[in-house]
Structure 1
Amino acid sequence: MSVLSPADKDAIREAYTAITDARGLTPRWGQRQMIAEVANTLALLAPAIDGPDSAGSPIAVIEAGTGTGKTIAYVIPALVMARVLNKRLIIATATVALQEQLVHKDLPDIKAGSGLDFSYVLAKGRRRYLCLSQLDRLMARESGGGQTMGLYPDEVAPTLARDALESYGLMLDALGRGDWDGDRDNWSAPIDDVDWLPVTADQGQCSGRRCPNIRNCSFYRARDGLQEADVVVTNHDLVLSDLALGGGAILPAPEDSIYIFDEGHHLPDKALNHFASFCRLPSTLSWLGDSRKALAKGAPLLTALPGLSAVLEPMSALFDDLQLRVQQIGEQAAVLMAGAGDFEEQLRFAGGIVPADLQQAATAIASQWSRLNGRLMTLEAGLDDALEDEGFASQRDELEAWQMAVGGMLVRAEGVLSLFKDFAADASEESPPRARWLRRRPDDEEMAIDFHCSHILAADILREQLWERAAGVVLTSATMTALGSFDRFRARSGVPEDGRYKIVVSPFDYSRATLHVPAMESEPSNAPAHTEELITQLPQLLDAREGSLVLFSSRRQMNDVYDGLPREWRDRILRQDDFSKQEIIRRHRETIDAGDGAVIFGLASFAEGVDLPGNYCQHVVIAKLPFAVPDNPVDAALAEWLEAQGRNAFMEISVPDAALKLVQASGRLLRTETDTGRVTLMDRRVLTRRYGRAILDSLPPFQRRIG
């Protein structure tokens, strides 16, 4: 069994002592527990030099309660062990706010105070960086000197607004002077997506090292920095994108990397979203038409390239055929949606089983679409060859433009093919089955229908892409367990059972706060009566002099309660949707700083990741237990699958999920060791239902006041 070497222990201990001394911190027991857990997990990698070890997987899942100081607790041991093992450290977060905190505050502080010498860099996707080649072609188009074809029909406006052109000119000037690095987040003024996306490139559109602007490419400059840094800070989505590309395409290779997933409870859902497939029928039809016209216009140039005449010749008919097939499958989908009811926005197929005629149509489209993809790949390869051929040097600009356009076509085509393959698949061979559904969008177009397919558990995805490949992984957050167990997370994520699991208790004194479940005559199942009671009770429960956060699970209930309150209370309330989240928090803090009371009305996004310490939040009111809305097709498909096995989906999914969300919501109260206050839960089901005791017991040990 692997153990930490004395030298490794000393290095970690010395760095931890140095940082606590430098920052005047008192060493925390929970923090030291977490340091030991991370170090011992990564020490399992050491025996791989001499042979296999049966001590377990080098994967740790650590629930670190609020106030643990988990950033220091994972950075210091992971840095030391990464250096010993000659691995790169990748820290991935779920939110931009935490990434910025790591890069601009936490890592500089640790570097300055710990005695550890390391470099770090923030990694972002291609779409966060300006593409000079795209900008050149866009400006040429505006001056009448070229054409630009977007990846999506609506991606590039027919004519750019004057202020967009002025912004592009300023960007070019700033790049030329060296005052800007091409990173959208570092640009001095806000820029809308409609103006930004046309001057960026995705993987398919990027010509890579052949690009004439490669020396000045913002993305490649940033990427080259990733290969040199000891620590790469990024987000969950970019890690998943890199893994989907085979690993090592953007970030260091998984086999050479130690991953830390902060806010790690989000990773399974992020993986589901990332590997899901979808197709918007109206935009797909438009894209097929636009692509056919574009290739017809480019035929004089493209057919002159070796071997491409035979590739292009049948493509016009192939596009027409696919347009007809997509039109027909859209009509089939519309009939199915109509059968579901005029007011139904989505139709989920039970057991993931698509009706036979729709499955047959998807199979036929997938077959034809594969032919389209094959021809686009051949076309792209021919353009690549021509760009390497000195004989076409005079046409280089045009060839590069087409290389980017065809690369974009291929990326779009691969996404659509994935969806139709998923709809053509035999669901009876899947265990668990995938969720497949149609969604009708409120557009004027006749076929405003989207096709969707998703795994219902991320376990297989993450096992194949991450757990079996990464050198080591640490996942941590304040809410990795549900009902006091890691079972929920393990089932969704597929983390091996022989991984290490640890709960590090928060150092906060929860007896400084009270959990209040007031007497109520109604339950949330009777929504009108429950809403009326909230309207009646909130003015008595809230203190007009305090900072309060009222959390709702339903936007309708939030608005109904707001509308039903007296005017003097409405004037104190900052309601979600009236302003941005950041603006609401800013105004709330400003009001409290002025010595007045303030109340925030928010939904799920305010129940997690919101930091309002001290007087900013002395009272959290939770309108009802946060059971998931039952219209999520992935959750519904998972529940259906469990029920088919004779299991209780409500107890296995709904109750643990609600318990976890309740812990997150109540966690908005105590943010520092000196905070006090109360949590009020306006839902008596924690007392009247048999699952209520388990949910109550999963909450921090607040003092309790019932009635």
Structure 2
Amino acid sequence: MNPEQQALIQKAYREFLEGRKVKPRGGQKHMIADIAKSFAAIAEDDEGHRKGNNHLIAIEAGTGTGKTLAYLLATLPVAQARDKRLIISTATVALQEQLLLRDLPDLKSLTSLEFNFALAKGRGRYLCTSQLSKVAASLRSSEPEDDNPTLSLFEKELMAAPGASDEDLMTRLVDDFASGRWSGDRDSLKEAVPNELWERLTTDHQRCSNRRCPHFAAACPFYNARRELDQADVIVANHDLVLADLALGGGVILPAPEQSYYVFDEAHHLPDKAISHFAATFRFNASLKWLQLLKKSQPDLLKAVVASPSATSQLNQLVNPVDDLVRDLGMLYAQLRDKINFQEGYNRSAPVHRWPQGQLPEGVREFAGQLLIHFSSLCRNLESLVNQLRDAQDPDKNTSLDADIASEWQPLLALLHARALAAHQLWSLCAEPDPEGRPPHARWLTLHRQAEGEEDLELSASPVTAAGDLAYRLWSRCFGSTLTSATLTALGKFDRLKHRSGLADSTLCKSYPSPFDYPRLGVLEVPKQACDPSQQQAHTEAILDYVETELNHPQAAALVLFSSRRQMNEVYDGLPSQLKRITLTQDQLSKNRLIEKHRTQVDASKPSIIFGLASLAEGIDLPGKYLTHVVIVRLPFSTPDDPVDATLAEWIEASGGNPFMQITVPDASIRLVQACGRLIRKEDDEGKVTLLDRRILTKRYGSQLLNSLPPFKRQLS
């Protein structure tokens, strides 16, 4: 490393420790050194672009290591010296808030480091001033629909129409923004705005007219926030926003990957986030509705753009692809609904049909190819129309379209263009064959039964691994990156992370254990009540017996983690009345309200038990008296009917592998470590982890899972 940078990091570390009056931690010091050396070793050309492929490092650091301080100190001084932006990406809002409200302010106030930081959020979290102006105008008008009945029709069909109470809320929002009491950031609102109403007040990349908007210069909340990002040395984002920026080409929402150093905290979530991000869905009847609305609105659209021969020509060219789509989608819907037998899943809210290894029937694939052609034509024509309407709003461009009319129609056509692009993505994934020798896409159909007996079919396609997308879109482009989490290894190895994330085998990987004295602080028990969960009724009764005998005491502060909502509710229903009164379930309250009520009961010296699902096995912080007992009712294997996991398992098996040992067990290991990690959050926490699944003692994979857990004192019956 550059000696000056090394000295700066060491000085800042001493200042922070002295300011916080804490002692250095061994794992933290090693982590700082590893990341700083890795970052400093990246070679650059004369234009500041990375040379070589030694730019990635993955570090697993156990709870209590102090990961956040380590990666901030290791990367920030080097990033500033190299004129690179530091993007910290998290998976949860809780960690974002910790960074913004505690970690970054403390680093700035306690050390001599000089830097600015900001939070990056997508457009959807901000008010669109142009949309607000339209809402305000409609609130002032007694008959808002008379001006443009076609636009009003689209608003009714594509967006929820506001009721009387909604209009009161919108009036308050208009007043608060106009008076400066509200900045336009949804997350700063004191009262909740329902999603269907917020959609009327925000915009997206497609609908936004950017610099052509009259509010762009000073009154746009999103671009005001973007200007803050331009001045920030450290940008706090989340995995979804990073992936969205990469999907747009990179450098659209966030700084360009080539000029950025990323830190992915909670990095074990990144592969799943990427899989979801690069998946696509399509609802038949919902899509037919907006296509038919587009066809119905064509006469009014032609009147609006009559002054432009080019726009008129583009509108006329929409007729054939829309007619073809309505015809072919109707035919395919009838064919699928008549011929497919849907299966109810154990953990599904709707019946699903999954095609084995994602292979669509030849007839469906042919339909997909036709639909892809039609949607391609529709996308091209809509894109051209949207661009012409945007240009008409630009005072520097001379067009024949009226600017006011263009500003009225552009958001609607941009919304339809976005929907056409999403449909194009889905049919592209269904029409194109999967490459030989590579994992296939999962493809499945979901039957949604709606109100008043209406039905809709939803076709979905998803990659079964994000390795290729991440390698191509992110790792090959970024200047450098650190991936870190308390759980990056599976069964003690980084192989699963590398495979899922597209990391090269040569990627530097390090692991540092937690500094906590686990044998002294905690106990891991498999009690006599534990049994094989395949005996469902016996397992439910065993859980009931354990809760009644071991958690029924005045000091109870427990978290019971279930893999099935159905079983969670069965156990709750079977509890005696005195235990029901102190038990909170995820079906009764939101996650935040659940934690808040649990803390309140414990603070009042009352017992409290939480019944939760997988989302409570990670990311919640209940230190000390708030949690002294974690009960895991079964090993957290993935659900056997998940279409993506099932398709990947089929492909691995067809390739001669063992999907259970290659995927299911390693992934369960990570989830099990996360669940156990809820117990010990600080050096003086104490408690017990109970596992009510006897397979960990009787199956050959059990010892592997046990060995991957924190080294609690063990009591295995």
Structure 2 residue aligned with 1:327: 330
The CA deviation at 1:52 is: 10
Aligned to 1:249, the other structure's residue is in SS state: coil
**C-alpha contact 1:573 1:598 (8 A) present in aligned 2:** yes
**C-alpha contact 1:44 1:55 (8 A) present in aligned 2:** no
Q: Which amino acid aligns with 1:455?
A: P
Structure 1 residue aligned with 2:585: 575
What do the CA deviations read for 1:394-429 (whole angstroms, capped 9, x no partner)? Answer: 931211122222211111100001111111112364
2:388 counterpart of 1:382: yes
Structure 2 residue aligned with 1:475: 483
Structure 2 residue aligned with 1:271: 274
* Aligned positions of 1:141-152 closer than 5 A: 141=138, 143=141, 144=144, 145-146=147-148, 148=151
**C-alpha contact 2:136 2:174 (8 A) present in aligned 1:** no
Q: Which amino acid aligns with 2:406?
A: L
Task: Decide which moves more: 529-538 or 684-693.
Answer: 529-538
Q: Which amino acid aligns with 1:483?
A: L
Task: Decide which moves more: 312-321 or 8-17.
Answer: 312-321
**C-alpha contact 2:529 2:545 (8 A) present in aligned 1:** no
User: In structure 2, which of residues 522, 526, 531 is the aligned counterpart of residue 522 of structure 1?
Assistant: 531
Identity of aligned residues (%): 43
What do the CA deviations read for 1:612-665 (whole angstroms, capped 9, x no partner)? Answer: 111111111110111111111010011011000111100011111111111111
Structure 2 unmatched runs, 5+? none
Structure 2 residue aligned with 1:503: 511
Q: Distance in 2 between matches of 1:218 and 1:51?
A: 32
2:695 counterpart of 1:692: no
Task: Decide which moves more: 268-277 or 305-314.
Answer: 305-314
**C-alpha contact 2:59 2:510 (8 A) present in aligned 1:** yes
The CA deviation at 1:195 is: 1.3
Tell me the TM-score normalised to structure 2 length: 0.94
Structure 1 residue aligned with 2:474: 466
User: In structure 1, which of residues 550, 557, 579 is the aligned counterpart of residue 567 of structure 2?
Assistant: 557
Structure 2 residue aligned with 1:485: 493
* Aligned positions of 1:407-422 closer than 5 A: 407-422=414-429
What do the CA deviations read for 1:69-127 (whole angstroms, capped 9, x no partner)? Answer: 11101111111110111100111111112111211111111100121110011111001
Structure 1 residue aligned with 2:370: 364
Task: Decide which moves more: 127-136 or 39-48.
Answer: 39-48
**C-alpha contact 1:334 1:447 (8 A) present in aligned 2:** no
What do the CA deviations read for 1:274-317 (whole angstroms, capped 9, x no partner)? Answer: 11111011110111012222333121121321312222124234
User: In structure 1, which of residues 641, 651, 661 is the aligned counterpart of residue 661 of structure 2?
Assistant: 651
Aligned to 2:468, the other structure's residue is in SS state: helix
Task: Decide which moves more: 376-385 or 260-269.
Answer: 376-385
Q: Which amino acid aligns with 1:192?
A: P
User: In structure 2, which of residues 606, 621, 629 is the aligned counterpart of residue 596 of structure 1?
Assistant: 606
Tell me the TM-score normalised to structure 1 length: 0.96
| CA separation of 1:277 and 1:592: change in aligned 2, threshold 3 A | same
User: In structure 1, which of residues 239, 242, 245 is the aligned counterpart of residue 242 of structure 2?
Assistant: 239
Q: Which amino acid aligns with 1:305?
A: S
The CA deviation at 1:490 is: 0.8
2:406 counterpart of 1:403: no
Task: Decide which moves more: 384-393 or 188-197.
Answer: 384-393
Q: Distance in 2 between matches of 1:164 and 1:38?
A: 51
Structure 2 residue aligned with 1:156: 159
| CA separation of 1:295 and 1:17: change in aligned 2, threshold 3 A | farther
Q: Which amino acid aligns with 1:333?
A: L
Structure 2 residue aligned with 1:113: 110
Q: Which amino acid aligns with 1:135?
A: L
The CA deviation at 1:168 is: 2.6
**C-alpha contact 2:60 2:511 (8 A) present in aligned 1:** yes
Aligned to 1:308, the other structure's residue is in SS state: helix
2:430 counterpart of 1:423: yes
Aligned to 2:60, the other structure's residue is in SS state: strand
Structure 2 residue aligned with 1:64: 61
2:46 counterpart of 1:44: no
What do the CA deviations read for 1:531-564 (whole angstroms, capped 9, x no partner)? Answer: 1121122222225222111111111111111111
User: In structure 2, which of residues 213, 226, 231 is the aligned counterpart of residue 228 of structure 1?
Assistant: 231
What do the CA deviations read for 1:478-526 (whole angstroms, capped 9, x no partner)? Answer: 1111101111111100112222111111010101211001124731011
Aligned to 1:255, the other structure's residue is in SS state: helix
Task: Decide which moves more: 121-130 or 315-324.
Answer: 315-324
Q: Distance in 2 between matches of 1:330 and 1:146?
A: 33
Structure 1 residue aligned with 2:189: 187
The CA deviation at 1:169 is: 2.8
| CA separation of 1:149 and 1:118: change in aligned 2, threshold 3 A | farther
**C-alpha contact 2:262 2:481 (8 A) present in aligned 1:** yes
Q: Distance in 1 between matches of 2:545 and 2:513?
A: 37
| CA separation of 1:565 and 1:149: change in aligned 2, threshold 3 A | same
Q: Which amino acid aligns with 1:229?
A: A
Q: Distance in 1 between matches of 2:372 and 2:492?
A: 46
What do the CA deviations read for 1:316-340 (whole angstroms, capped 9, x no partner)? Answer: 3432221121111111221243376
Q: Which amino acid aligns with 1:310?
A: S
Task: Decide which moves more: 239-248 or 35-44.
Answer: 35-44
Q: Distance in 1 between matches of 2:49 and 2:421?
A: 39
Task: Decide which moves more: 459-468 or 376-385.
Answer: 376-385
Q: Distance in 2 between matches of 1:124 and 1:341?
A: 37
**C-alpha contact 1:164 1:195 (8 A) present in aligned 2:** yes
Structure 1 residue aligned with 2:465: 457
Aligned to 1:323, the other structure's residue is in SS state: helix
Task: Decide which moves more: 670-679 or 516-525.
Answer: 516-525
* Aligned positions of 1:6-21 closer than 5 A: 6-21=3-18
Q: Distance in 2 between matches of 1:608 and 1:13?
A: 33
2:65 counterpart of 1:79: no
Structure 2 residue aligned with 1:682: 692
Q: Which amino acid aligns with 1:671?
A: R
**C-alpha contact 2:49 2:259 (8 A) present in aligned 1:** no
| CA separation of 1:655 and 1:108: change in aligned 2, threshold 3 A | same
Aligned to 1:624, the other structure's residue is in SS state: coil
The CA deviation at 1:7 is: 1.2
The CA deviation at 1:64 is: 1.1
Q: Which amino acid aligns with 2:580?
A: R
Task: Decide which moves more: 697-706 or 320-329.
Answer: 320-329
What do the CA deviations read for 1:370-393 (whole angstroms, capped 9, x no partner)? Answer: 111111122123223333467669
| CA separation of 1:295 and 1:135: change in aligned 2, threshold 3 A | farther
Aligned to 1:199, the other structure's residue is in SS state: coil
Q: Distance in 2 between matches of 1:136 and 1:38?
A: 48
Aligned to 1:646, the other structure's residue is in SS state: coil
The CA deviation at 1:443 is: 1.9
**C-alpha contact 1:574 1:599 (8 A) present in aligned 2:** yes
2:620 counterpart of 1:623: no
| CA separation of 1:47 and 1:246: change in aligned 2, threshold 3 A | closer
User: What is the root-mean-square deviation of aligned Cα atoms in Å?
Assistant: 2.2
| CA separation of 1:482 and 1:150: change in aligned 2, threshold 3 A | farther
Structure 2 residue aligned with 1:538: 547
The CA deviation at 1:137 is: 2.4
Q: Distance in 1 between matches of 2:680 and 2:188?
A: 34
Q: Distance in 1 between matches of 2:342 and 2:566?
A: 27
2:110 counterpart of 1:101: no
Structure 1 residue aligned with 2:122: 125
The CA deviation at 1:702 is: 0.5
Aligned to 1:601, the other structure's residue is in SS state: strand
2:314 counterpart of 1:311: yes
Q: Distance in 1 between matches of 2:578 and 2:292?
A: 57
| CA separation of 1:466 and 1:629: change in aligned 2, threshold 3 A | same
Q: Distance in 2 between matches of 1:374 and 1:450?
A: 24
Q: Distance in 2 between matches of 1:128 and 1:54?
A: 37
User: In structure 2, which of residues 165, 176, 179 is the aligned counterpart of residue 177 of structure 1?
Assistant: 179
**C-alpha contact 1:137 1:401 (8 A) present in aligned 2:** no
Q: Distance in 1 between matches of 2:50 and 2:291?
A: 54
The CA deviation at 1:47 is: 5.0
The CA deviation at 1:55 is: 7.9
User: In structure 1, which of residues 212, 217, 222 is the aligned counterpart of residue 220 of structure 2?
Assistant: 217
